[in-house]
Amino acid sequence: MLFIDDEIQYSELTKEYLEMKGCRVLLKHDGQAGLDAFKAQPFDLCVLDIKMPKKDGFTLAEEIKQIDETIPIVFLTGQSLKEDKIKGLMLGADDYLTKPFSMEELYLRIRAILKRVKVHEKTPATDLYEWGHSRFDPELRQLVVSGETIKLTSIEAKLLKLFCEHQNKVLTRDVAMIGIWGDEEHYRGYSLNVYVSKLRKFLKADPAVEILNLHGEGYKLIFKPGAA
C-alpha cells in the first residue's frame, strides 16, 4: 500500500506496525512525492493524510483517482470536521480516520477494505470458450464436444485454458509449464506431452479445432474456419 503522511514520527512507526502485521508499505511524507510514487508502481490501497505540504490529500486523491478510479483510499485527518468527511467521501474515500488514530484500528480497516475489494475481484463474469461443436467452462472444468460432456482434471483444464488464451498463437512449453505447475521445481516436461495428447483425444470429435506441435517451440491451438 502507499501511505502518505507528513508526520514523520508517527507515520514511520505506523509503517513498522503495519509491516509487522504483514503489509507491504511504501511511506512518503508529502503529496507530490506520494503522487510520484503512485505513478511509478501499482498499489492495492492508499492511506492519505489530508493536510500535507506540496499537495493536500484531497487534491492528491483526485489525481490518484484520475489514474486509477478503483483504488481504495483511506483518509487521515487531524480534524473531525463534517465537511472534510463529506468532501473525502465525495472523492470516493473508502474510509476515514481522525487523528490521533489507533494503529490497530487502521490495520483492521485496511484489512476489511482489501477483503471487500478481493471479494469483488474474485467474482468476474466466468470465462466461457466456444468454438465449432465445443464449449469449455474453465470454472467447472467442463468440456462439451459435439454434445458429449467431459469432466476435465485440474491440470487438463488449466492447460486447455492456456490454449484458449493463446488461440492461434504459440503456447511455449515454458509458459504452459509455469502456468500449470507454477515454479521451476515442479516442472514436469515429460508429462506435458501426455496432457496435450489427452486434450487432442477429447477434441478429436470437433473438426473445427486442432492442437499443432511446433518443434522446439511448443504448441498452437488453431481454429479452422468453415470446419464446423
Q: Residue numbers of the site for other proteins (CB under 8 A)?
A: 6-10, 12-13, 16-17, 51-53, 78, 99-104
Q: How far is the CB of 88 from other proteins (least distance, A)?
A: 17
Nearest to 97 by CA among 112, 119, 115, 118: 112
Closest approach of Cβ 12 to other proteins, in Å? 7
Query: From CA 61, how far away is CA 81, in angstroms rounded?
Result: 18
> Which residues neighbour 176 within 8 Å (Cβ) at sequence distance 6 or greater?
159, 162, 192, 218, 219
What is the smallest separation between the CB atom of 48 and other proteins, expressed in angstroms? 14
Sheet containing strand 218-223, strands side by side: 170-172, 218-223, 209-214
Comparison of 102 and 191: residue with beta carbon closer to other proteins: 102
Nearer to other proteins, 78 or 189 (CB): 78
Instruction: Specify the residue, 65 or 99, whose C-beta has the smaller distance to other proteins.
Output: 99
Rounded to an integer, what distance in angstroms lies between the CA atom of residue 62 and that of residue 88? 10
In whole angstroms, the minimum distance from the beta carbon of 66 to other proteins comes to: 23
**Comparison of 75 and 131: residue with beta carbon closer to other proteins:** 75
Sort strands 73-77 and 95-98 into parallel, antiparallel or unpaired.
parallel
Rounded CA-CA distance 136/147 in Å is: 12
Question: Least Å distance between CB 103 and other proteins?
Answer: 6
Closest to other proteins by CB, 54 vs 85, is 54
